[in-house]
């Protein structure tokens, strides 16, 4: 899979999610998803530092709940209650 992604132009360390919406003085939001014990590679640290240095918000999230919270906080919106049966 890594070989295929690299052939398609993927670069190591690029954050998993990007929201290209300026807000709160930032140009956009980047989210790196990690497991509970996952650590950042040196490439991920490089991207973090580059993006933050260029005016983007970067955050690491440990699960989808943190990811949703990060998006809501970044956008300044209240998190909606989950739909019944979801």
For the chain, which domains are there?
A: 11-75 (3.40.1350.10)
The pair of structure tokens assigned to 9 is: 């132009």
pLDDT per residue of the chain (86 residues) written in tens, 0 to 9: 556 656 666 678 899 999 999 999 999 999 999 999 999 999 999 999 999 999 999 999 999 999 999 999 999 999 887 766 65
Spatial contact of 68 and 13, defined as CB atoms under 8 Å apart: no
**Residue 2: per-residue pLDDT:** 58
Question: Which residue shows structure tokens 């190591």?
Answer: 12
What region does 55 belong to: left with phi over 0, alpha with psi -120 to 50, or beta?
Answer: left
Rounded Cα–Cα distance for residues 46 and 23 (Å): 23
Rounded Cα–Cα distance for residues 69 and 64 (Å): 9
């Amino acid at each position: 899979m890594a070989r295929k992604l690299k052939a398609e132009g993927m670069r190591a360390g690029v954050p998993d999610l990007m929201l290209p919406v300026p807000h709160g003085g930032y140009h956009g939001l980047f989210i790196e998803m990690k497991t509970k014990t996952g650590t950042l590679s040196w490439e991920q640290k490089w991207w973090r530092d580059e993006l933050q240095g260029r005016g983007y918000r970067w955050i690491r999230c440990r699960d989808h709940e943190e990811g949703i919270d990060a998006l809501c906080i970044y956008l300044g919106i209240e998190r909606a209650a989950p739909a019944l049966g979801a």
